[in-house]
Structure 1
Amino acid sequence: MSGRPARLLLGLAAPALALVAAFLITSVVLVVAGDPAGEVWSTILTPPEPRNVANIVNNGAVLYLSGLAVAIGFRMNLFNIGVDGQYRIAAFAAAVVAGEAWLPGYLGTALAIVVAMLVGAAWAGIAGVLRATRGVSEVISTIMLNAISTGLVAYLLRRVAVREPGSNIVGTAEIPEGARIGGISIGGSAGVEIYGFVVIAALAGFLYWFVLGRTRFGFDLRATGDSATAAVASGISVRRMIIVAMLLSGAVAGLVGLPILFGDAYSYGSTFQSGLGFAGIAIALLGRNHPVGIALGALLFAFLDEQSNPLQILVGVSSDIVAITQGVIVLAVVISYELVRRYRVRMEQKAVAAALDRPSGDNEEAHA
């Protein structure tokens, strides 16, 4: 077997091996801990109800945007660990703009989305400029910027927050109803909806695929990530590509918190969800920076998160076992992809050697 079917099977082999390995390793952990592995997997793999499906899709959309933001950096050989800080400061800015209702209806929504992308891009751009002009590792700078953004948002939140009566929770002004993004009903069940922002997340994935895979700019970005030396020889400005890649990564990171903001929370407060940026790193690795792979990885992580909720009640096992499973999946994916890559290289080398060993007459007939 050769050609496209073989490449497709090899591409599917790596994630399949990773999932099998994660299942086996997690089962061993459960057995060693004295927990009922069979009941745990039975609970996790139970078909979700429509309400749970909606939660999976909603959480998956958020994780998908986070994965896309990280993947843009990966394609440029940049490790943007700052998505967590970028999306929080961007969501805060979007909440303030939308809550002030400077523009009516969806015009205010559009303005808030643009502001979130600009703020996220600017915050990531700091790390890009430091890397391009001073050689500062983006890993170090983005980690530091995460800490700074946490303190900055907390300070600004106290300055502009509206305190809820009878509550210690503080938050920005609530987004007007006309500026909220309505949900999409699924399954024919009343009240079961997915975020309308899912459509924007899908559009972001399409643009990621088109720009990076079908444009000259995308080729230059990928070429620079593969070999900066070759890029310079081709006339590509490496410094410019570093800054632009970080700006784009930050702009997409600015969208991460918006599905929750416009579809559920309607304000940014002290209880706004955190930690979404770090999950994007694992999902980008799992999806191999491909928009479809990232989507599948995001849905897988969202599925495991949702299905782990009843573990403590029904089985008496901590839902933290899912975090172990997710970590093992990522580690297994990295190893399995390397094993598959080496196998593919050996197969290609054998094919070349077989072609060279043929008599010259056979080669001439093959070319004829």
Structure 2
Amino acid sequence: MQITPFRADDPVDFEDYFSVRTALHLPGITVKPTRERVRTTAGVSRPGVTRHEWLAREDGKVVGHLSVDLPQEANRHMALGFVGVVPWYRRAGRGRAMHDFLLDFAAAEGRTTVLSSARAPIEGGAEIDPAGVRFGEAMGYTVAQTTLLSRLDLDTVEPGAHEELEAKAAAHADGYTFVTWLEGPGHELPEEYVDDLAHLEYRLTADMPTGDMDVEPEPPNPELIRQRARQAAATGTPLVHAAARHEESGRLVAWTFISVSPIDTTRAAQAITVVDPDHRGHRLGLLVKLANLRRGTAEHPGLRLIDTNNAEDNAPMIAVNRALGYRPHSYELNLQHKA
């Protein structure tokens, strides 16, 4: 097996890379990749992180893909690793060889901790092949944190249920107003929001439960906020944002957004939901999610399924999601390998 650097501008590399991404797609669980989205994200590092990617081939046929993300600010001891073997080439030692290559590369870069993840089933949830978990265990990883993946089916929400939730929560939110905006095709990130959003994303990494993961909070990074908006426009991915503004200070103090699938607008993923610690206790997490849902369904009337995730021990946010109608779907295990 040959492992060579992935070159996104090479037509053969790109087609092989796209074929692996398509083969690793989990129907009904992950959104099927499109060439346009893969073309604009393949080989792209996010601000503050350097990405390295490789393709694995045998006899001229691509059998897998691996990548390593190396943080360059906080967490310089850490590497985020991924090994993906095309399903029909598994269980023949290829994944182990690819993983050995990944560990050697991380060690050469001075990284002593490798983090990865794998899907696992939950009782009553989706059918998930636990092969990734078994592979991680065989490679010496331990489960450092369990993330609960939940799904909201808007067709199961009782009429008026969200409006009732909002009316009750709004009584606790005097002194706050709510704003929504769009990013992606035809829409731009409001520059006046960037610094507040960067601070909130920092608060998310500083305050969220991390279990036994050996990670540090990432510093505020305004360029990461801008890059997300640029990538949404480049990939044709609609983003719908909602935030709470503290009237006295004028700052955004709570924020969430959903990313709508560009090829199936019935589906979306809810990403960041964060409330500044100084403004908790006002139901802002629930209220920004409700504002987000209202704008999202107004812009995309066919939207039906929204996926989200929370650390399993993040009881307050899981309770908010349950109130909105989210139900457990599966687990994602954060796996950690220590040198």
TM range (shorter): under 0.3
Structure with max Cα Rg: 1
Structure number with higher helix proportion: 1
Greater fraction of residues in strand: 2
Asked which structure has the greater RCO (Cα within 8 Å, sep 6+), the reply is 1
Q: TM-score, normalised by structure 1?
A: 0.21
With the length of structure 2 as denominator, give the TM-score of the two structures. Answer: 0.22
